[in-house]
Structure 1
Amino acid sequence: MGYDRKADDGRRESLPAPRPGASVWPRQSCPAFTPRKEHLPIEGSQCWFCRYADFHLKHPVALEVGICYWPDIQIG
């Protein structure tokens, strides 16, 4: 199973609002973006770096598609 960059490129978008309980892709973003403590400013305001998104980053394998838990912070 290889990485399909074309599939990922279609997921870059700005969402008009948070999507509580819905799936979010790493490169999506919304107005509620709040960076995690480990956030690197060069990466922008993408869901992958948002405190409200759960990509199971503390598990052995991260999820490709996360879940938005706004307004509940998932990772500091």
Structure 2
Amino acid sequence: MKAPIVVHHPSPTGGRRVVIGGEIAGLAHDDRDLVEFLRRAGLEDASGLLDDPHWIEWRGGRAHRYEAA
């Protein structure tokens, strides 16, 4: 099973592209941004999902790190 949320590798200028259900949600610069994108997608209490691999796949780099690559 693939996670429905993908947080891509940090960009050269900082931040990570977030894709929810195949749609680009935006560029997160920290976990607060990520939680806000998830809330907008209908996941009201999303903070508990950030480390759940069934929900979120962190690609490239360490989870919760948004610094420029």
What TM-score do the two structures reach when normalised by structure 2? 0.25
Q: Which has the higher contact order (CA 8 A, sep 6+)?
A: 2
Looking at secondary structure, tell me which structure has more helix per residue. Answer: 2
What TM-score do the two structures reach when normalised by structure 1? 0.23
Looking at secondary structure, tell me which structure has more strand per residue. Answer: 2
